[in-house]
A and B are shown apart, each in its own frame.
Chain A
Amino acid sequence: MTDLDRLFREYHQPLVRYLTRRLGDRDWAEEMVQETFLRAARQDSIVSERSWLFAVATNLVRDEARKDARRRRHLELLREQAKADDVVEPEPLTIERAEEAALARRALEMLAERDREALLMREEGLDYTEIASALNLSIGSVGTTLARARRRLVEAYESLQPRESAARGPHAASR
């Protein structure tokens, strides 16, 4: 098994999950992860592979976000085509879970970019050294960043909650 195979097996799923959470778009996330591994293949050696992969994936997303929407529209078109071809829906979602996910996404979007990335990396199991390395932070500031990110996420989520409940009417409130 080559190094790239091993890297792919070990980190593909965490990276896809990280970027899907970050972007809210699995297809886009998959594409970014593919690009990340292509870049890894071009490297002679990678010292801290997990933090390197997450850093590259994060930077790719940042770069991507700065570009104009043309490529994204193209991807969305591709995604629609893929959806049309995809007859099997693997995850039947309940309305409640979908609403909860939408709320969580809105709350996450309210965080500063660095806080959001640190939090999502931590949720993927990266330790403080790896997060610091991937985001160019000092190790000492990772705890503060995570504390702030967690607090703001919970507060943002809860600040959105009553409005959502009120908008849905009394049934939602009594749920």
Chain B
Amino acid sequence: MQHLDEGTIHAWLDGALNDEETTAIARHLVECATCTAQVAEARGMIAGASRIVSSLDVVRGNVIPPAAPVRAGSVWRRLRLTPARAALAASVLLAVSAMLAVRHDTPNKMVPKTVVSGPDARVSAPAAATAPAPATAVPARSVSVVRPDSAAAQPRAETTATAAPPAKAAMSTAAANQAVAASAGTAVDTVKPHDEKAARIVAAPQSFSPAATAAAAGAPGFASAQGVSARPAMNEMRSAALGALTPGCYLVERDSSAWLRVIPPRFALVRDDAAQRNVVRAITLDAHIDSVVPGSAWREIPNRGIVVDFRAQPELRPVSLTLSASGRVAEATSGAESRPVEVRRVGCPH
């Protein structure tokens, strides 16, 4: 199959091709780095053009509600913590606690290993990190149950960015993407023109354990974890952790499924205190929190995560996106259809 032309790529991204063509293109993209780079560029063009057109809507009238400035509510801003700092603090605490445990543990002090799961597991690591007392804490086990996406537990997976043509607009789109991620203290896939090798970029830790962060921030629950009754403290910590998790900003890595187009590529989950509701705001390419995504809303589902509902647009079905607290893969559901979607949590633009 020869290289895809720009029109076909846009038609494919717009979901305008039939199943046969869609499959053929998907197959071709697996083995063609040039076309994959062009697809990435086209995605940027679509998002960029869409944003420019949306900015026309500031005319008088109720075309699209104006974006209210998002100020309060960021835990990171209040605590002067960035995800990177929090992850670093959590790493140091865990390393110290592990070291102390190795030094002081003797066989008769070890608590038998038990399976730890659920929310308790999520908070036990930082609890041990702040309370490394050898008699009661179980440092070794605690370390092992840090969430997989915790920065302290492991770095983010490596991502591969393929070479893209150095089109001026694409470069600036990439720069805008970087601006979004940079404000989140993260690295993004950078587009390196004419680079023979695929650029392997290890993204900085950006998704982190809220509990670990809460520990680093000295959340009240962690002090009480040293006491006898741990469960109430854990519940409290979990609430604090979820509170830190829910209002945040996310980047969505979409595939070509037409029905996922209703999900904006970058969005922020925001609590609108004035209206007493949870709203979703789009994030622009130049890292500004923009208008409310019409008809969208989000809610917390205990022990499951956050469900974000995106309303149907004229030719698109409504989609619910479930953001699990345990990983970067979310589940998008529309009617009977569902599929995993890669969602990266990032810090919100200031």
| Segment at the A interface, from B51-59, B82-90, B149-157, B266-274 | B51-59
Residues of B within 8 Å of A50, CB to CB, are 314
A124 to B294, CA, bound (A): 13
19 contacts between A and B (CB under 8 A): A17-B57, A17-B64, A20-B59, A25-B59, A26-B61, A90-B60, A90-B61, A101-B58, A105-B56, A107-B52, A108-B56, A119-B53, A123-B53, A125-B313, A125-B314, A142-B11, A144-B5, A149-B49, A158-B168
| Segment at the B interface, from A35-43, A91-99, A165-173 | A91-99
Most chain A C-beta atoms within 10 Å of own C-beta, residue among B11, B50, B316: B11
Residues of B with Cβ closer than 8 Å to A?
5-11, 14, 16, 42, 45-46, 48-50, 52-64, 66-67, 167-169, 172-173, 313-316
Residues of A within 8 Å of B316, CB to CB, are 125
Pair count A-B, CB < 8 A: 133
Residues of A within 8 Å of B314, CB to CB, are 14, 50, 124-126
Is the Cβ of B53 less than 8 Å from the Cβ of A104? yes
Contact (A101, B59) CB under 8 Å given A21-B53, A143-B16: yes
The 8 closest A-B pairs by CB, nearest first: A144-B7, A143-B11, A125-B314, A143-B7, A150-B49, A128-B16, A147-B10, A147-B6
Residues of A within 8 Å of B52, CB to CB, are 104, 107-108, 153-154, 157
Is the Cβ of A154 less than 8 Å from the Cβ of B53? no
A157 to B62, CA, bound (A): 25
Is the Cβ of A147 less than 8 Å from the Cβ of B16? no
Contact (A24, B56) CB under 8 Å given A141-B7, A151-B169: yes
A14 to B56, CA, bound (A): 14
- Min Cβ gap A31→B in Å is 14
Specify the chain A residue showing the minimal Cβ separation from B50: A123
Residues of A within 8 Å of B59, CB to CB, are 20, 24-26, 91, 101
Most chain A C-beta atoms within 10 Å of own C-beta, residue among B59, B60, B64: B59
- Min Cβ gap A53→B in Å is 12
Specify the chain B residue showing the minimal Cβ separation from A125: B314
Residues of B within 8 Å of A146, CB to CB, are 7, 10-11, 14
| Chain B interface, DSSP helix/strand/loop, else mixed | helix
A21 to B52, CA, bound (A): 11
Q: Which of B54, B55, B63, B66 contacts A26 (CB 8 A)?
A: B63
Residues of A within 8 Å of B63, CB to CB, are 16-17, 20, 26
Is the Cβ of A155 less than 8 Å from the Cβ of B7? no
Most chain A C-beta atoms within 10 Å of own C-beta, residue among B5, B11, B55: B55
Residues of A within 8 Å of B57, CB to CB, are 17, 20-21, 101
A143 to B12, CA, bound (A): 9
A109-126 near B? 1/0 per residue, CB < 8 Å: 000000000011011111
Specify the chain A residue showing the minimal Cβ separation from B312: A125
- Min Cβ gap A168→B in Å is 16
Residues of B within 8 Å of A104, CB to CB, are 52-53, 55-56
A24 to B58, CA, bound (A): 10
Residues of B within 8 Å of A127, CB to CB, are 16, 315
Specify the chain A residue showing the minimal Cβ separation from B56: A21
A122-141 near B? 1/0 per residue, CB < 8 Å: 11111110000000000011
A60-96 near B? 1/0 per residue, CB < 8 Å: 0000000000000000000000000000011111000
Residues of B within 8 Å of A155, CB to CB, are 168-169
A20 to B9, CA, bound (A): 29
A158 to B7, CA, bound (A): 22
A21-63 near B? 1/0 per residue, CB < 8 Å: 1001110000000000000000000000010000000000000
A132 to B290, CA, bound (A): 31
Is the Cβ of A154 less than 8 Å from the Cβ of B66? no
Known: A17-B64, A93-B58. 5 other contacts (CB 8 A): A90-B61, A119-B53, A141-B7, A142-B7, A144-B10
Residues of A within 8 Å of B8, CB to CB, are 143
A99 to B59, CA, bound (A): 12
- Min Cβ gap A36→B in Å is 17
A103 to B6, CA, bound (A): 26
Residues of B within 8 Å of A21, CB to CB, are 53, 56-57
Q: Which of A91, A105, A145 contacts B61 (CB 8 A)?
A: A91
- Min Cβ gap A143→B in Å is 3
Residues of B within 8 Å of A119, CB to CB, are 49, 53
A150 to B59, CA, bound (A): 22
A14 to B313, CA, bound (A): 11
A142 to B53, CA, bound (A): 18
- Min Cβ gap B40→A in Å is 14
Is the Cβ of A153 less than 8 Å from the Cβ of B16? no
Residues of B within 8 Å of A142, CB to CB, are 7, 11, 16
